[in-house]
């Protein structure tokens, strides 16, 4: 399974989400888990043990970000997207993911 976690926001919000990422890693030890976050956090958490790779979305404009997300889902063959951000932006992401991909989405 290939899992994409979406988590933007402040540094503290990202750190708080590490518990969820650790739980995912424990429950899916053989899965590829990717974290989609801002590029400045990639530099800080480059060796985060719960994910295989940190991917970036700097949220500059919605359509370039959406294009980036869709290409990531296709390239990494994502089966499951876990939206830990739950923002109006990720609602848009999820809407387009439902239309253009077959991946499952967990979000509130």
pLDDT along the chain (108 residues), means of 10: 94 91 96 95 90 94 95 98 94 96 92
Angle between the N-to-C axes of helices 62-76 and 88-100, in degrees from 0 to 180, rounded to the nearest 10: 50
pTM, 2 dp:
0.93
For residue 70, give the nearest of 1, 12, 19, 4 by alpha carbon: 4
68 CB-contact burial (10 Å; exposed 0-12 / middle 13-18 / buried 19+): middle
E strands in the chain: 2-6, 32-37, 53-56, 80-83, 104-106
Task: Return the half-sphere exposure (C-beta side, CA atoms, 13 A cut-off) of residue 100.
Answer: 15
Measured CA to CA, the distance from residue 73 to residue 99 in angstroms comes to 13
* pLDDT value for 43: 85
Tokens of 58: 């700097």
First-to-last alpha carbon distance for the chain, in angstroms, is: 22
Q: What pLDDT score was predicted for residue 74?
A: 97
Strand partners, 76: none
């Amino acid at each position: 399974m290939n899992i994409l976690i979406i988590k933007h926001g402040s540094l503290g919000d990202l750190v708080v989400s590490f518990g969820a990422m650790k739980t995912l890693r424990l429950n899916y030890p053989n899965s590829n888990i990717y974290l989609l976050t801002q590029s400045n956090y990639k530099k800080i958490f480059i060796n985060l043990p719960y994910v295989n790779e940190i991917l970036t979305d700097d949220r500059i404009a919605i359509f370039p970000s959406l294009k980036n997300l869709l290409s990531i889902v296709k390239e990494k063959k994502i089966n499951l997207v876990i939206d830990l951000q739950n923002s109006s932006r990720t609602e848009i992401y999820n809407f387009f993911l439902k239309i253009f991909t077959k991946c499952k989405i967990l979000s509130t």
